[in-house]
Structure 1
């Protein structure tokens, strides 16, 4: 007959003296599971089922009697279960079910690591479609990739490090195109834990070369060359009114490393604020804009080199040119009317 000895008071004090590093939540099950076994050490047998639940009754040659080790096993398991529960966050307490430590572990596995074809398909599809968002930082992007890989590992579908690296590189934004070939050609191959430092270094070097954003009042464009238009056209504004265009001109603006052309500048005396027609600016200068939550960037269409940058203030993007006078901002949609209207 198997014999179990109850934990002594000293045993319990020793067990309770160990503190778990963090608590289980819906985002860290993989890390929690990897640490819970060495944390519980010899007590983990109650959790994984190797120290099995004893029967309350045992048979002898003469009769069936109470199992003297059964109460000891119940007390020991209850002690282990309480230590086990102390590693679970408040948000996960709704999943604390069952009467034994083993029951609790199985319930948590069903909640946080359900292994079925649907779950596996969803996680693998999300990982294959991994893409870096426009304003996402390298740290956040890599964290998302790690979450999917960890979730797959929790259901027994481990992702190879080299495969995870390839998927992450494939999903990087266009601004990292120049870095992608370097990462792929690196020997020995880049590991996942190295990616954050490499991407952060790349961002630092790019941002270091960005034109400085002045802290003074933002400036906008003005025309330096104006010609009379034989046919007076109209500018339609948001309230439905048509404002006369008296002149059409052209100009140039200068940054620290580029001269930009401005064509078809419309002189409308009744509009007191200046606006930029982004599409025309892109066509005239072979550039493209990237709009982020707090700033925008103008890049060369071929080299992807950053040529201009500016802040977002009160919902509007402002181009800062120190050589121009301050002019208040306005937000309107510009449409050039034909002369026949």
Structure 2
């Protein structure tokens, strides 16, 4: 039988013995795992939560399963430390299962421990997540304005940048600005040179306004 659990929001420093931490996935793990598209982001929130409660060892193996029995006075008895470990591990596994899409939940439910569930999810989605990021980088690298309007060009770039954020690999403003300017046609050469010569990088929104203004009034470059 497991000891009473505390919620993940309460302090237990005034208690004389270790207490189980119970989680509230809806509040503490709001990003549900949908698969490889957001695995990195989902993983980050779970790692931060468990680090905050010093429980990450249940996933990494730093807090492995303890023997279920011990010998005391030549008698084999149940190990109370194993009971504490097992109950906490079950609560972590349950929090993981509650924070994923229903189609993914069986992978966690059938695992014998939180660590095994973690490893199964990594095998299923981590490499695919990296592949997705590489694919997004190719899309961003090859995207050109061509015959489309500046607004459409920038909206497509913004869509790819948002996909990077969801994948847990956001693109810095400076890198995004370089990509945007490199994909413009020769008619934007002057404003591109002026923007590149600035001491500080422009945000995406600032760049959007300058380039759309330049499209409307090409005779007046703006830095």
Q: How would you bin the TM-score normalised by the shorter chain?
A: 0.5 to 0.7
Correspondences of 1:1-341 after superposition (within 5 Å) = 6-11=2-7, 15-17=22-24, 19=27, 20-26=29-35, 27-40=37-50, 41-42=52-53, 43-58=55-70, 62=74, 65-90=77-102, 92-93=104-105, 95-96=107-108, 98-114=111-127, 125-131=138-144, 134=148, 136=152, 138-145=154-161, 147-148=163-164, 151=167, 153=169, 162-172=174-184, 177-190=189-202, 194-195=203-204, 197-202=205-210, 205=213, 209=216
Whichever structure has more strand as a proportion of its residues is 1
DSSP 3-state at the match of 1:69? helix
Structure 2: gaps (5+ residues): 11-21
Q: 1:102 to 1:115 in 2, by over 3 A?
A: same
For these two proteins, the number of residue pairs brought into alignment is 200
Rounded to whole Å, the distance in 1 between the matches of 2:49 and 2:168 is 23
TM-score (norm 1): 0.45
Runs of 4+ residues deviating >6 angstroms: 115-121, 158-161
Structure 1: gaps (5+ residues): 211-302, 306-341
Task: Quote how far apart the aligned CAs of 1:121 are.
Answer: 6.4
Larger radius of gyration: 1
| 1:180-218 C-alpha deviation (Å, 9 max, x unpaired) | 32332221244xxx12x12331365357x49xxxxxxxx
Whichever structure has more helix as a proportion of its residues is 2
RMSD of aligned Cα (Å): 4.3
